[in-house]
Amino acid sequence: MKVFVWKEVEKCSHSYHSEGGVVVFAETEERARELANSHSGCAIREDEMPCDVRTTRGKEAVYIMENAGCC
């Protein structure tokens, strides 16, 4: 299992400030993108690469940290 970290993606939610970070625990980057993009509003583009990838233990999981902005 690996953890994939995107510190900032252009679209991780439907909120007004749609930017934010995404952390996914998955076996592969392809699976990480699939899991993240299955969350409503999240659309990690092909050209948005993870900032960090590390080997870890645990189950598949997705954490969306949307940018709350100024509102």
- Summarize pLDDT for 21-37 with one digit per residue, the tens: 999 999 999 999 999 99
**Looking at the 3D structure of the chain, how many domains does it have?**
1
- Residue 71 inside a domain? The answer is no
Assigned domain for 37 exists: yes
Distance of alpha carbon 22 from alpha carbon 9, whole angstroms: 8
Supply 53's token pair. 């990838």
With respect to residue 21, please indicate whether it lies within any of the assigned structural domains. Answer: yes
Instruction: Note whether 7 and 61 are within 8 A (CB).
Output: no
Structure pTM?
0.91
Alpha-carbon radius of gyration of the chain: 12
Residue 24: which domain range?
2-66
Asked whether residue 51 is domain-assigned, the answer is yes
Q: Look at residue 71 in the predicted model and tell me its pLDDT.
A: 59
- The Cα–Cα gap between 16 and 54 comes to 31
